[in-house]
Amino acid sequence: DAKTTQPPSMDCAEGRAANLPCNHSTISGNEYVYWYRQIHSQGPQYIIHGLKNNETNEMASLIITEDRKSSTLILPHATLRDTAVYYCIVRVALRGSQGNLIFGKGTKLSVKP
Partner 1 sequence: EAGVTQFPSHSVIEKGQTVTLRCDPISGHDNLYWYRRVMGKEIKFLLHFVKESKQDESGMPNNRFLAERTGGTYSTLKVQPAELEDSGVYFCASSQGGGLGGYTFGSGTRLTVV
Residue ranges binding partner 1 (CB under 8 A): 2, 32, 34, 36, 38, 41-47, 49, 93-105
Comparing CB distances to partner 1, the nearer of 25 and 45 is 45
Give the nearest distance from C-beta 44 to partner 1 in angstroms: 5
Give the nearest distance from C-beta 95 to partner 1 in angstroms: 5
Range list of H helices, the chain: none
Comparing CB distances to partner 1, the nearer of 17 and 101 is 101
Give the nearest distance from C-beta 106 to partner 1 in angstroms: 8
Comparing CB distances to partner 1, the nearer of 105 and 112 is 105
The greatest distance separating any two alpha carbons of the chain, rounded to the nearest whole angstrom, comes to 44
List Cβ neighbours of 89 (8 Å cut-off, separation of 6 or more): 2, 4, 33, 34, 35, 36, 101, 102, 103, 104
Question: What is the signed CA dihedral for 100, 50, 89, 102, rounded to 10 degrees?
Answer: 0
